[in-house]
């Protein structure tokens, strides 16, 4: 059986390796239009920033070593330009000599990846405007922008997603003055504002300028400098610009040969990763597949799912319809200076767009036992279905153990897990590594309290709305008086939780009562005291003051004497 693979890296190279492991007699031809077939794409920003100093470490296999190990015919700098499904051949252009030829196949695998979005704005083809998608892009940035770094050089990163912020950090570390431009109202749009606000403030603390709600309109070149023009007329002179607006599936070959393209713009595949042609499979950034949480197809541009798809496709290419792909819940993570930001599943913004019913918990637990030194809080957001407790998504930002928390939630998401599964989960525990109640377990417990109607939550945005409309309600700060004096929310009264029972007669029971503390735990205790003392309309501010300081509009230190 002859297998032809179009495209290397995470999808194509992984599929070729798996094919040979399960079928030693497989004849494999791998075409890659670039020079490299197996490299650490996600490591490119860190090579640019000199965290990875040796360029050779980016390459997992060379074409020669890969070909030798897996007995594969690896042809780099050979671009497949057409697929003839009737004859079961591909047309190939040798980029070294310009000659074209045909290659036949029995089974074909498409792994063409995605291509960076380059908006059709004036000046888009000027020098010193870069995208980062492959080794060639990386080398251009490294040679022109890093190795020849000028004093007081500045860079503009257009797009505040995971890769954009990784580039912002690494450019900053090499000596650039960096500005990040994001058209949305905050960076890292897979995260909701309470979590993204922490990242945004950290960027600014590290000297990175952040501009939001403002998009790219044009590029100009003036006096040897590139100028980035924004929609509101702002001009940003710089030495280089990085386009990190996003990517789109590379579907040109698939479209040209008549394969079905899905609603999300990717190559449509079934659960066995077959296209509309049973002899052609597809994996990686070029495909779309239903989200396990929503059932709606979407494109997922992550290396982890691409590697898994390659393994599954290879099995089905040898043993037809033997393994099913279950989809991706879009688990992603990034290092941004001293912080780690991660997400999995559906954000609050996505849930609103899908009109799905949900409830949200925000907690700020320690990454390990509080008495063990050195821990900084993990800011954790959990979205769940209030009808059945099913987990819908999570986000976390912190300096330690963020990946561990998100990975636990991601695994449960893939198996339709619930907040009760979080509560009953078991984690390795010793003081340097965690707490007896892990952060995600604790978030599950808070969610369980809401599910059981032991606590009524209120979000910071809801409280702001009530304050904006001058609604008449009790607002009670249950922190200690010393904490209260450092600043509280407008119109809040201070009744510390340990003394609250003494002041019950001073709180009108005929009004809605909102309690809050620093992170939410004491607020929960206070709400239980009130709810069991005759108060019928009691709410606890989710995330407490720690969240409200980030996203609220009425935090006023001057109102406390």
pLDDT tens-digit readout, 325-335:
999 999 999 99
Q: Are the C-beta atoms of residues 280 and 316 closer than 8 Å to each other?
A: no
Q: Are the C-beta atoms of residues 155 and 178 closer than 8 Å to each other?
A: yes
With residues binned 3-state (H G I as helix, E B as strand, rest as coil), the percentages for the chain, rounded to 5, are 30, 25, 40
CA dihedral 198, 204, 206, 207 (to 10 degrees): 170
Structure tokens at 121: 């704005």
Q: Is residue 416 helix, strand or coil?
A: coil
Q: What does the DSSP 8-state code read for residue 293?
A: T
Closest CA to 334 of 192, 163, 201, 132: 163
- Counting every residue written for the chain, the total comes to 561
Rounded Cα distance between 249 and 255, Å, is 11
Q: Are the C-beta atoms of residues 470 and 438 closer than 8 Å to each other?
A: no
Low-confidence ranges of the chain (pLDDT < 50): 558-559
Structure tokens at 91: 């047309």
Q: Which residues touch 350 (CB under 8 Å, ≥6 apart)? A: 393
Rounded Cα distance between 480 and 112, Å, is 59
Strands 27-32 and 2-6, sheet pairing: parallel
Rounded Cα distance between 140 and 341, Å, is 28
Provide DSSP, 147-181: TTPPTT-EEEEE--SHHHHHHHHHHHHHT-EEEEE
Q: Is residue 206 helix, strand or coil?
A: coil
Rounded Cα distance between 180 and 458, Å, is 33
The strand pairing partners of 226, in sequence order, are 221, 238
Terminal-residue alpha carbon distance, the chain: 82
Q: Are the C-beta atoms of residues 332 and 352 closer than 8 Å to each other?
A: no
Rounded Cα distance between 199 and 204, Å, is 9
- In what side-by-side order are the strands of the sheet with 538-541? 457-458, 538-541, 513-516, 474-477, 493-494
How high is the pLDDT of residue 554? 64
């Amino acid at each position: 059986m002859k297998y032809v693979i179009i495209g290397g890296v995470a999808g194509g190279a992984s599929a070729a390796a798996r094919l040979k492991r399960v079928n030693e007699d497989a004849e494999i031809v791998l075409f890659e239009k670039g020079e490299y077939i197996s490299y650490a794409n996600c490591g490119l920003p860190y090579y640019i920033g000199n965290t990875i100093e040796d360029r050779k470490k980016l390459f997992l296999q060379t074409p020669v070593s890969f070909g030798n190990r897996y007995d594969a015919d690896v042809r780099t700098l050979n671009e497949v330009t057409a697929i003839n499904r009737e004859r079961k051949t591909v047309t190939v252009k040798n980029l070294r000599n310009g000659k074209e030829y045909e290659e036949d196949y029995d089974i074909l695998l498409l792994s063409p990846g995605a291509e960076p979005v380059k908006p059709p704005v004036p000046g888009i083809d000027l020098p010193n405007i870069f995208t980062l998608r492959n080794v060639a892009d990386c080398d251009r940035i490294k040679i022109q922008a890093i190795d020849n770094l000028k004093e007081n050089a500045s860079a503009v990163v257009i797009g505040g997603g995971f890769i954009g912020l990784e580039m912002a950090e690494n450019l900053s570390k090499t000596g650039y003055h960096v500005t990040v431009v994001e058209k949305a109202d905050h960076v890292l749009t897979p995260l909701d504002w309470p979590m993204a606000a922490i990242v945004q403030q950290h960027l600014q603390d590290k000297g990175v300028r952040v501009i939001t709600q403002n998009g790219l309109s044009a590029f100009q070149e003036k006096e040897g400098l590139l100028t980035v023009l924004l929609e509101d007329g702002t001009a940003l002179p710089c030495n280089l610009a990085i386009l990190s607006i996003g990517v789109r599936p590379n579907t040109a070959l698939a479209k040209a040969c008549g394969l079905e393209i899905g609603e999300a713009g990717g190559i449509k595949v079934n659960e066995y990763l077959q296209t509309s042609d049973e002899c052609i499979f597809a994996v990686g950034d070029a495909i779309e597949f239903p989200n396990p949480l929503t059932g709606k197809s979407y494109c997922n541009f992550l290396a982890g799912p691409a590697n898994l798809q390659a393994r599954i496709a290879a099995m089905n290419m040898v043993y037809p319809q033997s393994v099913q792909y279950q989809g991706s819940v879009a688990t992603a993570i990034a290092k941004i200076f001293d912080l780690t930001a991660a997400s999995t599943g559906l954000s609050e913004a996505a849930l609103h767009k899908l009109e799905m019913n949900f409830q949200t918990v925000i907690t700020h637990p320690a990454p390990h036992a509080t008495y063990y030194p050195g821990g900084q809080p993990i800011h954790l957001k959990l979205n769940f279905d209030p009808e059945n407790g099913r987990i819908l998504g999570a986000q976390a930002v912190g300096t330690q153990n963020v990946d561990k928390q998100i990975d636990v939630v991601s695994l449960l998401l893939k198996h339709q897990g619930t907040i009760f599964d979080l509560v009953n989960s078991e984690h390795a525990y010793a003081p340097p590594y965690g707490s007896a109640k892990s952060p995600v377990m604790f978030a599950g417990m808070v969610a369980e309290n809401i599910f059981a109607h032991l606590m009524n939550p209120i979000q910071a945005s809801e409280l702001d709305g009530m304050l904006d409309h001058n609604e008449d309600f009790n607002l009670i700060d249950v922190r200690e008086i010393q904490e209260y004096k450092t600043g509280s929310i407008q119109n809040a009264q201070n009744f510390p939780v340990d003394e609250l029972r003494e002041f019950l007669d001073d709180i009108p029971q005929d009004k809605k009562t909102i309690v809050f503390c620093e992170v939410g735990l004491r607020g929960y205790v206070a709400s239980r005291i009130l709810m069991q003392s005759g108060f019928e309309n009691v709410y606890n501010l989710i995330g407490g003051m720690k969240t409200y300081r980030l996203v609220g509009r009425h935090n006023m230190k001057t109102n406390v004497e």
